[in-house]
C-alpha cells in the first residue's frame, strides 16, 4: 500500500475504529485497582490515541502530499543521476509514460495520484490531449520532484509536429501537492477547456510543487547550505523539460503561475529570472519572504544576510533595482483576504518596462473556490503574453504598462487602465 493511497487511509481508519471498540469493551476489566490495571488503562488509551492520530495524519497526507512515499517519510529521498539526457532530432515526442531511460532528466512516474484526479482527458491524445505523470530530475540540485505534464491535442497532430509549444509552470502553495493543482485548482482541465474553445492557444501545462525538501517551506529560495529551490525551478526544471518535450527555447514562451506561496514564488522567479520566465500569474501572493517556523533560516548569517533578504523583497526590488522586462498578473480580494493593501501597493510600484495586470474581486477567500474562479482569466491573460509558434511568430506589439482584469463574476474580463 502506498503512503498516499486511499487504501492506506481506509486501513488506518479501520484500525483506529477497532482500537476504539476494544477500548470500550476492555475498559470494565481495566477499571479495577492494581498496578497492572493502571498500566493497562494507560496502554489502551495511548494506543487508541496513536491510531486515531495516525489515521488522521494519513488522510491529511493523502490530501496534501506532505510525503509522497514511505521511503520519503523515513528520510530516504531519491538522488539525481549525474548523466544528462539530450533531446533527439525530434526534440521530444511526448511518449514519456512507460519509458525509463537511465540518466534522463524527465522520467516516468507512477499514476496512482493521477488516477484519483477527475476530468482528465481520455481517448486519442491527438483529439483530447494527455496528462503524464513524471519525475523531474535536477542535474544541478540533485532534486527529484514529481510533476504532471498536460500536453494539448496539437502536440500530437501532424500539422504541429515541428512546432515548439509555450509552457506555463503551475506551482502549488505550501505544503501543497501536484494533486491539489490537478484536482482542486483544475489546471489542466481549465486549460483544456479554454484551448478547445479557442480562448487560449495550445500550451503545455506543467504542475509541480515548490516544496522540494518536505516538510520544510523554502519559499523558492536558494538556502545557503540548504535546499536550492530557485536553482531547481529556474534552471533544472526548464532544462529537463527542454530535453524531453517540444517546448519553446526562448524565455518569451515561458510563464509561471501559482496560488498562495506558489504565487509568491511565481513572482519571485519571474522578477529575479527574466531570462527564464517572462510572464507570471500570482493568486493571493505575498511580496516579501520572511523566516518563520516552517521555513527555518532561509538567508543564512553574516554580512550577506541582509542582501539576500532584500533580494527576495519584491517591493525593495521595485524601489532600488531596474525593473525587469516582464509581465505579471496579481489577484487578491478586496474583502476576505489580508493581502489586498499589499497588492495595491505592488501594482502602484511597478514601472516600465515591467507590466502588471490585476484581478481584484470584491469578495473572496484564501481558498480553492476563489482561485478556481480566477483561473480562466489568469490563464487567458498569461497565454496572450507567450509566443507560439515561437520560431515563426515573433512578438513586436506593445502592451500598456498597467491593466486590470476585473473578477466580479464567474467570467472576469480584462480592461486597460491608463499609464501612471
Q: What is the DSSP string of 308-323?
A: HHHHTBHHHHHHHSPP
Q: Specify whether 120 is located in the same domain as 39.
A: no
Q: Is residue 120 part of a domain?
A: yes
- Are 263 and 229 part of one and the same domain? yes
Q: Is the pLDDT of residue 415 over 80?
A: no
User: Mean pLDDT, the chain, as a whole number?
Assistant: 84
Q: Which residue has the higher pLDDT, 172 or 91?
A: 172
Q: How is residue 48 written as a grid cell?
A: 487508541
**Where does the pLDDT of residue 78 fall: very low under 50, low under 70, confident under 90, or very high at 90 and above?**
very low
Kindly state whether residues 93 and 38 are assigned to the same domain: no
> Is 1 part of a structural domain of the chain?
no
pLDDT in tens, 326-381: 999 999 999 989 899 999 999 999 999 999 999 999 988 889 999 999 999 999 99
The pLDDT of 103-128, averaged and rounded, is 91
Same domain, 325 and 378: yes
Per residue in 221-278, pLDDT tens? 999 999 999 999 999 999 999 999 999 999 999 999 999 999 999 999 999 999 999 9
* pLDDT tens, position by position, 135-163: 999 999 999 999 999 999 999 999 998 89
Predicted confidence band of residue 5 (pLDDT cuts 50, 70, 90):
confident
Tracing cell 477547456 back to the chain, one arrives at: 193
pLDDT surpasses 90 at 60: no
pLDDT at position 76, please? Answer: 53
358 and 276 housed in the same domain? yes
**Closest C-alpha among 255, 285, 250 to residue 385:** 255
Domain assignment present for 46: yes
Task: Indicate the angle between helix axes 35-64 and 6-30, nearest 10 degrees.
Answer: 160
pLDDT tens per residue across span 331-345:
999 998 989 999 999
Residues 330 and 398 in one domain: yes
Task: Round to whole Å and give the CA distance between 15 and 384.
Answer: 52
Structure confidence by residue, pLDDT tens digits, 19-44: 999 888 888 888 878 888 888 888 88
> Is 95's pLDDT higher than 60?
no
- Asked whether residue 40 falls in the same domain as residue 92, the answer is no
Q: Which domain holds residue 302?
A: 82-416
Strand arrangement of the beta sheet that strand 204-208 belongs to: 106-108, 130-137, 144-151, 204-208, 167-171, 254-259, 279-283, 327-331, 355-359, 402-406, 413-416
- Whether residue 383 is contained in a domain is answered as yes
Pairing state of beta strands 254-259 and 167-171? parallel
For residue 28, the model assigns a pLDDT of 85
Side-chain-side CA neighbours of residue 104 (13 Å) = 20
Please indicate, yes or no, whether residues 298 and 327 belong to a single structural domain of this protein. Answer: yes
Of the pLDDT bands very low, low, confident and very high (cuts 50, 70, 90), residue 209 is very high
Q: Interhelix angle for 187-196 vs 368-385, to 10°?
A: 50
Give domain status of residue 71, yes or no. Answer: no
Whether residue 183 sits in one domain with residue 51:
no
The answer to the question of residue 75 being in a domain is: no
| Helix H or strand E encompassing 13 | helix 6-30
Q: Is the pLDDT of residue 89 over 70?
A: no
Determine the length of the chain. 420
Instruction: Check residue 171 and give its pLDDT.
Output: 97
Whether 14 and 127 share a structural domain:
no
More confident position, 297 or 418: 297
- Stretch 82-111: mean pLDDT: 53
Here the CATH number for the domain that contains residue 370 is: 3.40.50.1820
Q: What percent of the chain has pLDDT over 90?
A: 65
Burial class (CB in 10 A: 0-12, 13-18, 19+), 97: middle
User: Has residue 361 been placed in a domain?
Assistant: yes
Q: What is the pLDDT of residue 400?
A: 46
Q: Structure pTM?
A: 0.75
Distances (CA, A) of 76 to 68, 174, 177: 11, 21, 19
**The pLDDT value given to residue 404:** 52
Confidence of residue 113 (pLDDT cuts 50, 70, 90): confident
CA distances from 23 to 10, 26, 52, 55, 78 (A): 20, 5, 13, 17, 41
Confidence of residue 75 (pLDDT cuts 50, 70, 90): low
Whether 278 and 371 share a structural domain: yes
| C-alpha span between 310 and 326 (Å, rounded) | 20
Percent of the chain with pLDDT over 70: 81
Task: Classify residue 77: in a domain, yes or no.
Answer: no
How many structural domains compose the chain?
2
Question: 141 with 20, same domain?
Answer: no
Amino acid at each position: 500500500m502506498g503512503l498516499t493511497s486511499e487504501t492506506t487511509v481506509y486501513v488506518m481508519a479501520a484500525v483506529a475504529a477497532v482500537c476504539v471498540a476494544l477500548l470500550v469493551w476492555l475498559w470494565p476489566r481495566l477499571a479495577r485497582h492494581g498496578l497492572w490495571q493502571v498500566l493497562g488503562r494507560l496502554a489502551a488509551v495511548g494506543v487508541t490515541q496513536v491510531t486515531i492520530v495516525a489515521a488522521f495524519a494519513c488522510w491529511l497526507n493523502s490530501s496534501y502530499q506532505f510525503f509522497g512515499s514511505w521511503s520519503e517519510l523515513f528520510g530516504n529521498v531519491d538522488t539525481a543521476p549525474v548523466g544528462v539526457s539530450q533531446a533527439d532530432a525530434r526534440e521530444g515526442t511526448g511518449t514519456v509514460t512507460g519509458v525509463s531511460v537511465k540518466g534522463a532528466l524527465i522520467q516516468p512516474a507512477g499514476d496512482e495520484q493521477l488516477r484519483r484526479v477527475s476530468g482528465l482527458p481520455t481517448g486519442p491524445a491527438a483529439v483530447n490531449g494527455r496528462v503524464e505523470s513524471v519525475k523531474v530530475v535536477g542535474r544541478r540540485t540533485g532534486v527529484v520532484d514529481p510533476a504532471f505534464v498536460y500536453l494539448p491535442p496539437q502536440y500530437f497532430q501532424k500539422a504541429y509536429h515541428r512546432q515548439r509549444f509555450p509552457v506555463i509552470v503551475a506551482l502549488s502553495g505550501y505544503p501543497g501537492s501536484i494533486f491539489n493543482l490537478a484536482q482542486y485548482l483544475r489546471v489542466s482541465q481549465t486549460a483544456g477547456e479554454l484551448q478547445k474553445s479557442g480562448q487560449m492557444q495550445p500550451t503545455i501545462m506543467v504542475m509541480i510543487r515548490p516544496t522540494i525538501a518536505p516538510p520544510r517551506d523554502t519559499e523558492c529560495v536558494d538556502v545557503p547550505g540548504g535546499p536550492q529551490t530557485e536553482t531547481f525551478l529556474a534552471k533544472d526544471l526548464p532544462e529537463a523539460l527542454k530535453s524531453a518535450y517540444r517546448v519553446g527555447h526562448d524565455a518569451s514562451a515561458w510563464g509561471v503561475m501559482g496560488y498562495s506561496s506558489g504565487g509568491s514564488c511565481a513572482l519571485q522567479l519571474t522578477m529575479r529570472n527574466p531570462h527564464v520566465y517572462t510572464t507570471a500569474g500570482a493568486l493571493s501572493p505575498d511580496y516579501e519572504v520572511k523566516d518563520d517556523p516552517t521555513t527555518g533560516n532561509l538567508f543564512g548569517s553574516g554580512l550577506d544576510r541582509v542582501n539576500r533578504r532584500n533580494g527576495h523583497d519584491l517591493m525593495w526590488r521595485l524601489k532600488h533595482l531596474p525593473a525587469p522586462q516582464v509581465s505579471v498578473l496579481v489577484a487578491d480580494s478586496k474583502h476576505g483576504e489580508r493581502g489586498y493593501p499589499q497588492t495595491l501597493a505592488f501594482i502602484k510600484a511597478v514601472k516600465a518596462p515591467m507590466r502588471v495586470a490585476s484581478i481584484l474581486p470584491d469578495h473572496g477567500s484564501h481558498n480553492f473556490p476563489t482561485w478556481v474562479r480566477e483561473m480562466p482569466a489568469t490563464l487567458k491573460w498569461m497565454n496572450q503574453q507567450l509566443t507560439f509558434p515561437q520560431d515563426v511568430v515573433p512578438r513586436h506589439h506593445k502592451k500598456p504598462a498597467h491593466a486590470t482584469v476585473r473578477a466580479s463574476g464567474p467570467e472576469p474580463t480584462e480592461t486597460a487602465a491608463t499609464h501612471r
